[in-house]
Amino acid sequence: MKFEAVTIKDIAKELGLSTSTVSRALRDSYEISPETKKIVLEYAKEINYRPNPIALSLKEKRSRSIGIVVSEIANSFFSQAINGIESVANTRGYNVIITQSHESYEKEVSSLQFLASRSVDGCLISVSTETKDFTHITHLHDRGMHMVCFDRVIEDLKTHKVIVDNFKGAYDATVHLINNGYTRIAHLGNSEYLSITKERQSGYKKALEDHKIEYDENLVQHCLHGGMIYEEVENALNKLLKLKNKPDAVFAAADKLTTNCMRYCKIKKVPIPQKLAVIGFSNLDLTELLSPSLSVVRQPAFEMGRIAAELLIKMIEAKRATTDFETIILQPDVFLRDSCAKKV
């Protein structure tokens, strides 16, 4: 038996009203009396009526859907950001289509092509670690697709951007290590193609400079896939710990880099913080329950997603093309715990 959704015609027939009256009542039109609205709305709720999205899209010339492109939902930062996006989208009557690049440029390209083929009204994008050519994004943007970048942004794309103060988060984390007596501080960075990588490395370098510690490029390692592949982190840390003058601390610049650094130390039996102090960007819940408890720079991911969604929907629903764009910078929080306790 084929499922058939309830329509306005069904409601009209049951209540003995015209379809136009039911339609206006559902839209809360001033032309319909409060009594009639109440009857229609109560019956619609009783039979679990939902507007037909295809009919709505034809009428409004919008699909009432927005696309999201992120590296992976399993990443705690992105899962929290998606929750923020959905909190706005659902309230405003938009469906959300989530795609994952898994840090692959090719998958990012195919994800955007898929979303465009679904006629989404706009996209929220955080680019993959492999992406250094943005043609696939600028092409769709130039053709009129509404876009907002968040976290990993495209600096030259003329649109709204929502980011965290990456420089400050990295600076504060590095300064804390210095104040606790660490001077050979390694930096485990994300892909060099990403905006966040440059900003976080700049904060790290500035903290060293302000405290008269010479920057040593041998103490800096980058992981192309941002820690998603454990072996990349393992290779980077092996190189660092084989140095003649070994690091006494690590500042990791991404969620998976930070947690896989902890994992590496557990596997290799490197005591934290006695042999290697660790602090890094992470939105993983329960970091305080790890052993030792993990010091982290935490981003307001939910808020970032919420603001990005609001900006996108504002563009979609604007009567005129948006020409004035803003970059919103949110502040990170630093949580200091046992993994970078004072050096003994």
pLDDT of residue 48: 81
CA distance 79 to 217: 33
Q: What is the CATH number of domain 62-164+301-330?
A: 3.40.50.2300
Domain 166-297+333-340 in CATH 3.40.50.1970? no
Question: Which part of the chain has CATH 1.10.260.40?
Answer: 8-50
pLDDT of residue 169: 98
CA distance 223 to 328: 27
Per-block mean pLDDT, blocks of 10 residues, the chain (344 long): 71 91 86 91 84 55 89 96 97 95 97 93 97 96 96 97 98 98 98 97 98 98 96 98 97 96 97 98 94 97 98 95 96 97 94
CA distance 168 to 196: 12
Give the three-class secondary structure for 122. strand
CATH architecture assignment, domain 8-50: Orthogonal Bundle (1.10)
Render 188-235 in DSSP notation, one character per residue: EE--TTSHHHHHHHHHHHHHHHHTT----GGGEEE-TTTTSSHHHHHH
pTM value is: 0.84
pLDDT of residue 1: 46
pLDDT of residue 4: 62
Question: Which part of the chain has CATH 3.40.50.2300?
Answer: 62-164+301-330, 166-297+333-340
Short-list 324, 323, 328, CA closest to 309:
328
pLDDT of residue 53: 55
pLDDT of residue 61: 60
List all residues 6 or more positions away from 154 whose beta carbon is below 8 Å from its beta carbon: 125, 127, 134, 137, 138, 195
Short-list 127, 134, 123, 148, CA closest to 68:
123
167-180 as b/e, with b when 16 or more CB fall inside 10 Å?
A: bbbbbbbbbbbbeb
CA distance 283 to 80: 8
